[in-house]
Amino acid sequence: MSCIAIVLDNFIEVTDGLRAGLFIFLFFVYEPLAHTLGFTLGNYIMGIRVRKISAHAEKVNITQAYLRFTVKKLLGWLSFFTIQSNKKSRAMHDIASGTLTIYA
């Protein structure tokens, strides 16, 4: 979001509607969509991928991606506390959505 804000500041006339649309896209669409396509930029850099728990080679579907995203946003950092207590190191949002985070 910060990078896009910096880029938009270089243009003379950027409407509030465009700014709002980009914010909504980045906040509500980017992460779930990126997971269904393979990975987010952060996942790529860290070398991790989100996959289905039932088939580790399969990417998550859009329903799983939005469920994971929603639970993660609702629980915030609390979701990550289950990682250490789980054999497969799954966070609450992974458990709720049937996903698993693996190293690429």
Q: What is the pLDDT of residue 8?
A: 87
Mean pLDDT of all residues in 46-65: 96
Torsion sign (Cα): 78, 23, 46, 98: positive
pLDDT at 101 over 80: yes
| Separation CA 84–CA 90 (nearest Å) | 8
Please state the pTM of the whole predicted model.
Answer: 0.84
Return the bridge partners of 58, or none: none
What are the Cα distances from residue 100, in Å, to 24, 33, 69, 96?
26, 17, 13, 10
The answer to whether 18 and 67 are in contact (CB under 8 A) is: no
pLDDT of residue 11 exceeding 90, the answer is no
Cα dihedral: 23, 29, 31, 35 (round 10): -160
